[in-house]
C-alpha cells in the first residue's frame, strides 16, 4: 500500500512505560494500530541473524504506535485529539504525520474546517471562513490553532448540544480541560454569566484566550490549572461544570468535583469511550453524584451528572 499517496500515518513515540496508555489513546482514533515495541528482542538470541539489524539496534526504552487515516479524513483533528489526551494523561512523546509534507501540515489543514451546525442553533465557524448568519443561529467563530476543540469531534459536539439544554441565564460556568475554549464561549453565548476555563497546557490557554478575545464575549477568562487545583472559588461554587477530557481524568476528578458544584449544579462529563462509561458512572456514584442522563454518539458518551440528594 502506498501510504504517502492514499493514507496519512500518525505515529506517536513515547517511553516504553507509557505504551499501554498510548495504545488506549490511539485506539480512540482507530482500532487498527501498528505497535513498534522492540524491548523483547534480545541481541544475543540464536535467531538474531534472521532479524533486521536496524531492529536489533533499535532503542528498546521507547515504543511507537501508529494509526493510518484515509487521505480525505482530516488528520489535523486526530493529531490535536491525540495531543490533548496525552497532555491530560501526563504523557510526553513525539507526534509525527508521515505521508504529509511540511507545507501541507503548515497550511493545508484549514481546508478541513467548514461551518458546523450543532444542536438547534449553534454554528461553529472557522475564523477564516465567510458565513452568512441565519435567523435564530448563534455563531461561534474559532481558530483552533494547536489546541483541540473545534466542534468536529463527537465529544465536543455532545457537550455543546447539552449546553443548549443546561445553560441557564446568568449561570456561573466552569470548563475543566478547556482546549480551545470553545465550551466556555458557547456557554456565554447561550446566556451564562461568568465563565471560567482552565487547562494544564499553556499553549491551549494562549489559544483559548485568543479565541475568547476574538469572540467578543466578556466575562470569560482562561488560566492554567492542573484539573481543579487552581480553580477560582472566590466568586462561589458553579452552576454548571464541563469536563470534556478522558475517562481516567474524570474518575480522578470524581472525589473533588462536588465541592465546586452548587447543590443544584450540573456536571457535563464527556470524552468517555462507551466501553468505560459504566466505570466512570461507578466512580461518580461512589462520590455522592448521580448520573441523570447519558448521551451516546459513535462510540463516545457524555454524562449529565447531579449531586446526590441528601437523605
What is the spatial distance between Cα 163 and Cα 186, in angstroms, rounded to a whole number?
8
Length of the chain (residues) = 311
Structural domain count of the chain: 2
Rounded to the nearest 10 degrees, how much is the dihedral formed by the CA atoms of 33, 34, 38, 44?
Answer: 130
| One domain, residues 87 and 148 | no
Q: Is the model's pLDDT at 177 over the cut of 80?
A: yes
Q: How many CB atoms lie within 10 A of CB 23?
A: 15
pLDDT band at 295 (very low <50, low <70, confident <90, very high): very high
pLDDT at 96: 87
**What's the gap between Cα 294 and its chain centre?**
18
Domain interval for residue 296: 111-307
Q: If pLDDT is split at 50, 70 and 90, which confidence band does 69 have? A: confident
- pLDDT of 47 > 50? The answer is no
Over residues 204-252, the pLDDT tens digits come to 888 889 889 888 888 999 999 988 988 989 889 999 999 998 888 899 9
pLDDT for residue 145 is more than 60: no
Which of 290, 293, 295, 289 minimizes the C-alpha distance to 304?
Answer: 293
For the residues 278-300, what does the mean pLDDT come to? Answer: 93
**Are 78 and 189 in a shared domain?**
no
Give pLDDT, residue 51. Answer: 42
Per cent of the chain over pLDDT 90 is 37
Residue 151 lies in a domain: yes
Looking at the structure, do residues 51 and 116 belong to the same domain, yes or no?
Answer: no
> In this structure, are 65 and 199 located in the same domain?
no
168-172 long-range contacts (CB < 8 A, ≥24 apart) are 168/192, 168/239, 168/240, 169/193, 171/239, 171/240, 172/235, 172/236, 172/237, 172/238, 172/239, 172/240
Q: Is the pLDDT of residue 31 over 90?
A: no
Q: Which of 80, 101, 122 is the C-terminal boundary of a domain?
A: 101
pLDDT higher than threshold 90 for residue 302: yes
66 and 167 together in one domain: no
The answer to the question of residue 182 being in a domain is yes
The more confident residue out of 211 and 75 is: 211
Long-range contacts from 14-17, C-beta under 8 angstroms, 24+ separation:
14/62, 14/63, 14/64, 14/91, 14/92, 14/93, 14/94, 15/61, 15/62, 15/63, 15/92, 15/93, 16/60, 16/61, 16/62, 16/63
Does 121 share its domain with 261?
yes
Q: Any idea what the CATH number is for the domain that residue 234 is in?
A: 3.40.50.150
Please, what is the average pLDDT of the chain? 82
Q: Closest Cα to residue 161, out of 203, 126, 124, 214? A: 124
Regarding whether 85 and 166 lie in a shared domain, the answer is: no
Judge whether residue 150 has pLDDT over 80.
no
Q: Is the pLDDT of residue 152 over 90?
A: no
> What is the pTM for the complete model shown?
0.69
Q: Which of 44, 71, 101 is the last residue of a domain?
A: 101
74: domain CATH number is 3.30.70.120
Amino acid at each position: 500500500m502506498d501510504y504517502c499517496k492514499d493514507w496519512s500515518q500518525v505515529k506517536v513515540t513515547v517511553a516504553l512505560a507509557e505504551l499501554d496508555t498510548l495504545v488506549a489513546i490511539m485506539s480512540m482514533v482507530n482500532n487498527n494500530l501498528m505497535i513498534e515495541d522492540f524491548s523483547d528482542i534480545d541481541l544475543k538470541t540464536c535467531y538474531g541473524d534472521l532479524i533486521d539489524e536496524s531492529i536489533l539496534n533499535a532503542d528498546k526504552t521507547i515504543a511507537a504506535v501508529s494509526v493510518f487515516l484515509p487521505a480525505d479524513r482530516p488528520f489535523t483533528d486526530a493529531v490535536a485529539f491525540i495531543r490533548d489526551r496525552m497532555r491530560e494523561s501526563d504523557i510526553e512523546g513525539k507526534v509525527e504525520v508521515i505521508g504529509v509534507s511540511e507545507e501541507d501540515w503548515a497550511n493545508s489543514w484549514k481546508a478541513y474546517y467548514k461551518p458546523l451546525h450543532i444542536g438547534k442553533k449553534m454554528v461553529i465557524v472557522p475564523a477564516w471562513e465567510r458565513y452568512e448568519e441565519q435567523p435564530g443561529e448563534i455563531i461561534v467563530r474559532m481558530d483552533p490553532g494547536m489546541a483541540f476543540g473545534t466542534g468536529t469531534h463527537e465529544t465536543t459536539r455532545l457537550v455543546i448540544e447539552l449546553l443548549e439544554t443546561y445553560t441557564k441565564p446568568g449561570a456561573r460556568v466552569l470548563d475543566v480541560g478547556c482546549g480551545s475554549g470553545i465550551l466556555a464561549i458557547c456557554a456565554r453565548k447561550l446566556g451564562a454569566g461568568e465563565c471560567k476555563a482552565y487547562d494544564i497546557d499553556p499553549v491551549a490557554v494562549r489559544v483559548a484566550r485568543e479565541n475568547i478575545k476574538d469572540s467578543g464575549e466578556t466575562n470569560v477568562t482562561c488560566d492554567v490549572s492542573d484539573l481543579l487545583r487552581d480553580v477560582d472559588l472566590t466568586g462561589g461554587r458553579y452552576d454548571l461544570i464541563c469536563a470534556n477530557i478522558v475517562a481516567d481524568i474524570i474518575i480522578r476528578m470524581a472525589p473533588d468535583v462536588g465541592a465546586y458544584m452548587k447543590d443544584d449544579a450540573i456536571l457535563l462529563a464527556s470524552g468517555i469511550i462507551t466501553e468505560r462509561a459504566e466505570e466512570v458512572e461507578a466512580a461518580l456514584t461512589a462520590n455522592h453524584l448521580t448520573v441523570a442522563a447519558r448521551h451516546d454518539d459513535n462510540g463516545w458518551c457524555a454524562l449529565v451528572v447531579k449531586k446526590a440528594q441528601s437523605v
